[in-house]
Structure 1
Amino acid sequence: MNLVGAGARLVDVAGGRTLAGDELTAEIERAAGDLAELPSGVLFARMSLDLASVLRYLGAFEAARAVALIDPALDPDVLAGLITRFRPAAVLAAPEAEPPAGYTASDGHWVRAEAEGVTPHPELAVLLPTSGSTGNPKLVRLSRHGLLSNADAIAEVLRIDAGEVAPTCLPLHYSYGLSVLNSHLLRGATVVIEASGVLGRGFWSAVQEHGITSLSGVPYHYEMLRRLKFDPAKYPTLRTLTQAGGKLRDELIAEFNDKMLAVGGRMYVMYGQTEASPRMTTVPAERLAEKLGSAGPALPGGKFVVRRDDGAETTHPKIVGEVLYRGPNVMMGYADDEAGLAAGDECGGTLATGDLGYLDEEGYLYVTGRLKRIGKVFGNRVSLDDLEHAVRVAEVGIDVVAAVSAGDKVVLFAELPEGEGAKAICKDAARALSARLHLHTSGFDVRPIDTVPLLASGKIDYRSLEGRV
């Protein structure tokens, strides 16, 4: 199975250029040839929403070069740490700065001077960092087969065909954005490369000019579209909405579903994780209204079971436990450093999601909470422990802080004396997190608290704090 199907097109809005047929094939092969000449090892590709980034990714896939997709706004210290640990063959579209020791600048890239490096496993295709932009991220190892099987399953359930026209309205280093690209190219559809996103004016001009047929968003996008009084009747070609990246409020799902049904359109709600390449479910559009709150059944080829507290696995309805997913799209495992790139499949097709949930009588999944301390900010997974550390080292005057997840944002309780000074410090902390993760300050609700509650063990009583959100 090839990633780019017959008839696929790339429309570059900024450059006013369309690539299709032999011309698209030639550009991908040219990119593949350039990457094949680089030293051995993984490639780091800083993925902007532009044609060059898309071609580098497709070229790496064609050349069977394992590539880590990197946020171009990643904190320089975090990027430097990743380079030290993984010794990439090159950093493509490198920052405008001096290359690190052992690398030379060449045509906008940093290329490793030493030719020898760890050769990644032959099945390894894409690596994506965990834990947002904080801390010491691991890389999720995704196989070629896993990515292709997931793209095929998504295309099947979303009914993607060659007539679809999808925009790059999500970052390409984000697994959801990458899956939109993969699933459309696989079926020979058109991808419109447009960088402003669904909240930018340029996006809506592109919808009309290029006949865009679908829009993909995380909960934050739908909250904003509601405020902007989004009306699909204004855009006759736009007839499909998809939502993932966190749980959207049921009332908003119902509202947008009604809007789409009124114009003969459809809405899909999905659930996934980067570790699943990345989608695991889709609620069929025709069942969405009656299955509000559900993440849907497993994608074709996948299966869910629930692991009870005693370790037993069950598919019995209404039994709550940790959600386990099995399917061909499950990651090969994590890599902590360069040596881990050569490892084979360590998961055996099973992913412990870390989510709590249950199945109904029809096998539809309902997610009820998290086992681990991972939150989401506008669809971006972040480590709550890393956020606490980031606040403490931000030098804003906060030493004791506790972070808890609150839907599509994070609430951080900062131990501070009450008063106007405390409010100002909390605002400074939110701004510091926003600057570090490149996410809007509204995703970080920092609140003063007299004393952070502790358990008898001396650990923070997070459950008590969750009750205050």
Structure 2
Amino acid sequence: MTLLGDSARIVDLVAGRTLDLTGEVAKAAEEVAALPEGVLFVRTAMDAPGLIRYLAAFESCRAVALIDPALNEESLARLVARFRPGAVLAAPGCEPPPGYLRKDGHWVRGETDGVRPHPDLAVLLATSGSTGKPHFARLSRNALLSNAHAIGEVLRIGADDVAPTVLPLHYSYGLSVLNSHLVRGATVVLQPDGIHAPGFWDAVTEHRCTSLAAVPYHYEMLWRQEFDPAHFPALHTLTQAGGRLRPELVTEFDTRMRAAGGGLFVMYGQTEAAPRMATMPADRLAEKPGSVGPALPGGEFAIRHNDGSETTHPKITGEVIYHGPNVMMGYAEDAHDLAKGDELDGVLATGDLGYLDEEGFLFVTGRLKRIGQVFGNRISLDDLEQAVLATGLGVRMVAAVPAGDKIVLFTEGVAADVCKEISRALAERLHLHSSGFDVRALDAVPLQTSGKIDYPALSELV
């Protein structure tokens, strides 16, 4: 099984060339095979070398961990100590940790013997860590390939499709865009500067990009910039994942895409599912506002009751359970976990709350662990954020963090004096004293490289 469809291409804008994937990957695979045993750490910047190393590892059945190149040296050294990788590819310029030698720009483990990863293991991805300690999700070749093919099917990705890179490859959504296009023989335009850069939209026009994948933060930005898809005639598909997009913007971008002859696909996933589990068909988005759609082909949703039983009956709220071939093998905390086989048997307890309708379309209503307390009253932090956005007070972004017996809400896009109005509005809505809602104004809510809100960073400000 391969990730490379017959006509799959990568356009490298930095080098100004289209990559010969077959030749480039084969050459890199020889280098990968010569490295010491163990998982390989690949620091994946938005560049051709990192992408080729990932594909070479995948195609040659070497387990690979995709590492954020912005990870600081101390954190990287701790990961190396825990997992003892065979090598850290594209290593930083500092001295390598004990037991490693610098060679050709990499850190290579001096000892040839290491923990041999399970033969099914293909990729390790760090979870977002937005609500707790980050883990590595252990993803098998079958999980990644089945998910890539399923996404290609529901989005009808074909050899003529072209997608620019918007999200980093060490983020599961960004990797998914790459995988689902390459496996269908489509083209990926490697744009290193991201959606903020002026040259990004020049590349979308020049290479006639047909789709664009983005997270809620990007859509907020595009809305403020009055993005009009009609200016890009080849662009027929927008996809959205990485958190809940506020309903007004779902409606807005759905309307804009319909007017331009295209569609908006709202998606739902987690890193632990390689990563996508559901896609809302664009032609039914207006019919079922708030839904993330049915499960991808090959998958199935159920709702878990408090007693542990599962149901697919409609309108029953509980924890969302996903069954599918794309579920991870389990988590990895250290090198010894890499040798473990499949511990989940295709069943993922998502930690999300939701319900199904009569057609099996999923509605996600919040997180089990995203709960705070105000004077002893348990409150969903996700619901609270949506309530702030719905106040009409001009909040562009909000992040709620528990703080003992109150909740701190960090806002972006409002003046400091508006914070008191938000506190009063929440108090009136929830029939609680306004002192339970500590609303603070920030110039910008901190984000992770994936574009998601950096809740751990905000917790340190409480």
TM-score, with normalisation over the residues of structure 1? 0.82
Partner of 2:16: 16
RMSD (Å), alpha carbons:
3.0
CA contact (8 A) 2:168 2:450 kept: no
Identity of aligned residues (%): 62
1:210 aligns with 2:220: no
CA contact (8 A) 1:167 1:194 kept: yes
1:411 aligns with 2:395: no
Partner of 2:116: 119
Partner of 2:158: 161
Shift of 1:430: 7.4
SS in 2 for 1:361: coil
Deviations 1:102-122 (A, max 9, x none): 111111111111100000000
Shift of 1:309: 1.2
Shift of 1:137: 3.1
Q: Which amino acid aligns with 1:104?
A: L
Q: Which amino acid aligns with 1:73?
A: A
SS in 1 for 2:22: helix
Cα distance in 1 between the residues matched to 2:439 and 2:369: 27
Q: Which amino acid aligns with 1:411?
A: A
| Aligned with residue 290 of structure 1, among 287, 295, 305 | 287
SS in 2 for 1:270: strand
Partner of 1:466: none
Cα distance in 1 between the residues matched to 2:118 and 2:459: 46
Partner of 2:324: 327
CA contact (8 A) 2:168 2:449 kept: no
SS in 2 for 1:251: helix
Which consecutive residues of structure 2, in runs of 5 or more, have no partner in the other structure?
A: 373-379, 387-396, 407-415, 420-437
Alignment of 1:235-250 (within 5 A): 235-250=232-247
Q: Which amino acid aligns with 1:343?
A: K
Shift of 1:51: 0.6
CA contact (8 A) 1:212 1:237 kept: yes
Cα distance in 2 between the residues matched to 1:319 and 1:245: 25
CA contact (8 A) 1:434 1:440 kept: no
Q: Which amino acid aligns with 1:268?
A: F
Cα distance in 1 between the residues matched to 2:245 and 2:266: 9
Shift of 1:414: 6.4
Cα distance change, pair 197–432 in 1 and its aligned pair in 2 (3 A): closer
Partner of 2:33: 36
Partner of 1:201: 198
Cα distance in 1 between the residues matched to 2:299 and 2:189: 30
| Aligned with residue 179 of structure 2, among 182, 185, 195 | 182
Q: How many residues align?
A: 413
Deviations 1:67-117 (A, max 9, x none): 000111113322121111000011111111111111111111111111000
Partner of 1:234: 231
| Aligned with residue 76 of structure 1, among 73, 76, 84 | 73
CA contact (8 A) 1:433 1:441 kept: no
Deviations 1:360-403 (A, max 9, x none): 000000011111249xxxxxxxxx9xxxxxxxxxxxxxxxxxx9
TM-score, with normalisation over the residues of structure 2? 0.83
Cα distance change, pair 131–198 in 1 and its aligned pair in 2 (3 A): closer
Shift of 1:131: 3.8
Cα distance change, pair 441–220 in 1 and its aligned pair in 2 (3 A): closer
CA contact (8 A) 1:46 1:92 kept: yes
Cα distance change, pair 134–30 in 1 and its aligned pair in 2 (3 A): farther
Shift of 1:285: 1.1
1:303 aligns with 2:292: no
Cα distance change, pair 340–5 in 1 and its aligned pair in 2 (3 A): same
1:225 aligns with 2:225: no
1:89 aligns with 2:86: yes
Cα distance in 2 between the residues matched to 1:63 and 1:149: 18
Partner of 2:430: none
CA contact (8 A) 1:78 1:136 kept: no
Partner of 1:48: 45
Deviations 1:205-238 (A, max 9, x none): 1001111111100000000000000011111111
Cα distance in 2 between the residues matched to 1:295 and 1:305: 14
Cα distance in 1 between the residues matched to 2:120 and 2:72: 29
Bigger shift: residues 440-449 or 233-242: 440-449
Cα distance in 2 between the residues matched to 1:62 and 1:189: 18
Q: Which amino acid aligns with 1:193?
A: L
CA contact (8 A) 1:170 1:176 kept: yes
Cα distance in 1 between the residues matched to 2:280 and 2:301: 14
Cα distance in 2 between the residues matched to 1:339 and 1:52: 29
1:358 aligns with 2:345: no
Cα distance change, pair 348–409 in 1 and its aligned pair in 2 (3 A): farther
SS in 1 for 2:306: coil
CA contact (8 A) 2:176 2:275 kept: yes
Q: Which amino acid aligns with 2:14?
A: A
Partner of 2:55: 58
Cα distance change, pair 169–325 in 1 and its aligned pair in 2 (3 A): same
Partner of 1:276: 273
Bigger shift: residues 75-84 or 309-318: 75-84
Cα distance in 2 between the residues matched to 1:73 and 1:138: 18
Partner of 2:338: 341
